[in-house]
């Protein structure tokens, strides 16, 4: 890449050497032409033209042509007034060679033309035409619960057809969290949670409660709690007792404290719960949930414990401590926000085995498989869709090899690709789930079936 400042400095010095007079050191130089450099951000219909600025220029005049001799210009792209050191050109043909040049302007003076820079626009991608997949319900081939993250507002007919047709477990994507169910210190809101639990009961599906305590879904009145630490702890105990009691016998399991461990260092996350209740707050929350319902299954749930070594060790230390002290815990939730090419099969097998060896249940609790982790794709393609399907098959096969009584569920974090949280989170196109936006199954769905033992 160009060291623009260094180049500008040399340009001004060389200009000065050409034009400096003995009488004074102010350069009376010929007005320098800019230097056009390679285009960037090259797409199907345009690119960014770049150049080295001229120190004394006020502005520039840009030409874009499909002719190397600039005998004709593209549309109105002749003498386009601009400033700075780049200009975004759009509205061009794909897979076509273009040339650009420019002149510098300072007051009434216009420099000579710069050199010409050549660029070829990207070839238009053919629209992705999905290959039809077998439309076979996942639950027909599963001997463990298959879960889906749901929202009360997304229980319409087309969703209902897939939810009740394919899945046997539901997790509220956000409506059973504290910021929704306990919006203010004097009011609860169980409307959406009740709707989800009632839908599950009507369709003979289990409900996994997510999540009693999560730093990212804590209402502001809790984050900014005005009472003493003792009052805070009592409030948390009362909340957990109220919620778990309300859904006793209706919600099979709970993520008690979600994501309590920091990334990359294995420390407890410095949440308001840690600050006001101390390091044993996770154990306290587990005990309070158990006190409210002796039969509910209690999980510790987190992300990146599929591959972050420090986080893995911290999770295992927490689990071992709970087991040693008799703190109630029934399983570990691996969120499984993974990619088509990461983490590896051996990484997933290894950490899953650590939890299985401790006699706990395993929940792959929020499965999505990024097809576009580097943000390079603007649309899905057959190759990547098949690679994604192979990763899903791998994940399901690993889970299916766990001893039967330790397989809690695999829960997919969204139904259709456009339902995913990942698009907003990463800001690039993404297709991480099992169904296209028209509710038709993807190769990822076929991979899931294969992992369950289905064969064509
Ligand atoms: O549906 C409402 C809409 O009516 C309203 O206009 C809009 C603006 O207020 O909010 C919409 O609800 C949003 C909801 O997602 C549905 O899009 C909530 O504000 C928003 O907070 C919620 O975000 C959820 C997030 O957790 C926070 O609860 C995401 O859906 C959900 O995918 C995400 O899931 C988390 C897991 O719980 C824990 N692991 C990480 C995972 C991803 O962050």
What is the average pLDDT score of the chain? Answer: 93
What values do phi and psi take at 302, rounded to 5? -155, 170
Confidence of residue 5 (pLDDT cuts 50, 70, 90): very low
Of residues 6 and 233, more confidently modeled: 233
Predicted local distance difference test score (pLDDT) of residue 30: 63
- pLDDT score at 124: 85
Q: 223 — phi, psi (to 5°)?
A: -55, -35
Per-residue pLDDT band for 137 (boundaries 50, 70, 90) equals: very high
Q: Are the beta carbons of 43 and 56 closer than 8 angstroms?
A: no
Best residue among 171, 173, 182 to mutate for probing ligand 1's pocket (most ligand atoms within 8 Å of CB) is 173
Rounded Cα distance between 195 and 405, Å, is: 29
pLDDT digits (tens, 9 = 90+) for 313-349: 999 999 999 999 999 999 999 999 999 999 999 999 9
How many Cβ atoms sit within 10 Å of the Cβ of residue 71?
A: 8
- Residue 216 Cα: closest atom of ligand 1: 27
Cis before 321? omega within 30: no
Whether the Cβ atoms of residue 98 and residue 67 lie closer than 8 Å to each other:
no
Q: How far, in Å, are 143, 300, 377 from residue 442 at the CA level? A: 22, 31, 17
The answer to whether residues 54 and 105 touch, using CB atoms and an 8 Å cutoff, is no
Going by C-alpha positions, the residue among 404, 419, 360, 336 that lies closest to residue 156 is 419
Find, among 109, 108, 102, 66, the residue nearest to 87 by Cα: 102
Ligand 1 center from residue 366 Cα (angstroms): 13
SS3 content of the chain, % helix, strand, coil (to 5): 35, 25, 40
| Nearest CA owner, ligand 1 atom 15 | 174
For residues 306 and 338, is the Cβ–Cβ distance under 8 A? yes
Exactly one of 53, 259, 306, 387 is catalytic; which is it? Answer: 259
Q: Is residue 49 classed exposed, middle or buried when 0-12, 13-18 and 19+ CB atoms within 10 A define those classes?
A: buried
Residue 24's Cβ-side half-sphere holds a number of Cα atoms within 13 Å equal to 4
Does ligand 1 have an atom closer than 6 angstroms to the CB of 174?
Answer: yes
Under the banding of pLDDT at 50, 70 and 90, the label for residue 31 is confident
What's the pLDDT at 9?
Answer: 43
List pLDDT tens digits, range 40-68.
999 999 999 999 999 999 999 999 999 99
Instruction: Return the number of other C-beta atoms located less than 10 Å from residue 5's C-beta.
Output: 8
Q: What is the pLDDT of residues 170-197, one digit of tens each?
A: 999 999 999 999 999 999 999 999 999 9
User: Mean pLDDT over residues 388-392, rounded?
Assistant: 98
CA–centroid distance, residue 174 to ligand 1 (Å): 5
Is 453's pLDDT higher than 60?
yes
> How big is the chain, counted in residues?
456
Q: Are 435 and 162 in contact (CB under 8 A)?
A: yes
**What pLDDT was estimated at residue 23?**
45
- Whether 259 sits among the annotated catalytic residues: the reply is yes
- Residue closest by Cα to atom 21 of ligand 1: 174
Q: Given the residues 166, 173, 233, 366, select the one marked as catalytic.
A: 366
Contact status, residue 253 vs residue 299, Cβ threshold 8 Å: yes
Dihedral angle sign, alpha carbons of residues 230, 231, 232, 237: positive
Residue 204 to residue 155: CA distance in whole angstroms = 15
Tell me how far apart the alpha carbons of residues 217 and 147 are, in angstroms, rounded to a whole number: 21
366 is an active site residue: yes
Q: Are 166 and 139 in contact (CB under 8 A)?
A: yes
Of 450, 452, 420, which Cα lies nearest the Cα of 435? 420
Q: Report which of 228, 241, 229, 230 is spatially closest to residue 188, judged by C-alpha positions.
A: 241
Structural contact between residues 343 and 309, judged by C-beta atoms closer than 8 angstroms: no
CA 279, CA 373: separation in Å to the nearest integer?
A: 35
Atom of ligand 1 nearest to the CA of 258: 38
């Amino acid at each position: 890449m160009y060291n623009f400042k260094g180049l500008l400095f040399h340009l001004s010095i060389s200009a000065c050497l050409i034009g400096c007079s003995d009488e004074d050191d102010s350069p009376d130089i010929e007005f320098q032409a800019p230097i056009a450099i390679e285009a960037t951000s090259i797409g199907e219909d345009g690119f960014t033209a770049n150049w080295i600025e001229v120190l004394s220029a006020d502005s520039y005049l840009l030409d874009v042509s499909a002719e190397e001799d600039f005998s004709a210009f593209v549309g109105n792209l002749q003498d386009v007034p601009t400033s700075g050191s780049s200009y975004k050109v759009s509205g061009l043909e794909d897979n076509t060679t273009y040339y650009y040049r420019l002149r510098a302007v300072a007051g009434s003076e216009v420099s000579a033309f710069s050199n010409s820079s050549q660029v070829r626009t990207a070839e238009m991608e053919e629209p992705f035409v999905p290959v039809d997949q077998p439309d076979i319900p996942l639950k027909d081939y599963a001997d463990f619960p298959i879960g889906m993250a749901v929202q009360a507002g997304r229980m319409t007919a087309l969703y209902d057809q897939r939810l009740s047709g394919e899945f046997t477990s539901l997790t509220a994507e956000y409506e059973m969290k504290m910021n929704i169910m306990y919006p203010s210190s004097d009011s609860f809101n169980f409307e959406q949670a009740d709707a989800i639990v009632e839908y599950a009961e009507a369709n003979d599906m289990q409900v996994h409660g997510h999540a009693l305590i999560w730093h990212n879904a804590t209402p502001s009145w809790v984050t900014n709690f005005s009472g003493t630490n003792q009052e805070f702890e009592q409030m948390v105990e009362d909340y957990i007792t109220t919620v778990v009691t309300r859904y006793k016998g209706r919600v099979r399991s709970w993520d008690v404290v979600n994501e309590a461990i920091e990334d990359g260092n294995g420390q407890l996350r410095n949440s308001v719960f840690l600050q006001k209740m101390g390091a044993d707050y996770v154990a306290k929350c587990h005990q309070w949930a158990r006190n409210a319902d002796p039969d509910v299954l209690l999980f510790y749930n987190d992300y990146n414990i599929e591959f972050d070594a420090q986080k893995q060790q911290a999770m295992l230390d927490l689990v071992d401590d709970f087991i040693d002290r008799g703190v109630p815990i029934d399983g570990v939730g691996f969120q499984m926000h993974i990619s088509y090419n990461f983490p590896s099969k051996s990484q997933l097998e290894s950490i899953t085995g650590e939890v299985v060896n401790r006699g706990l249940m395993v929940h792959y609790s929020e499965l999505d498989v990024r097809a576009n982790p580097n943000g390079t794709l603007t649309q899905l393609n057959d190759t990547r869709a098949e690679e994604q399907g192979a990763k899903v098959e791998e994940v399901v096969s690993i889970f299916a090899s766990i001893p039967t009584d330790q397989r809690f569920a695999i829960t997919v974090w969204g139904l259709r690709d456009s339902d995913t949280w990942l698009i907003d989170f990463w800001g690039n196109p993404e297709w991480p789930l099992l169904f296209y936006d028209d509710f038709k199954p993807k190769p990822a769905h076929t991979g899931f079936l294969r992992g369950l033992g289905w064969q064509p």
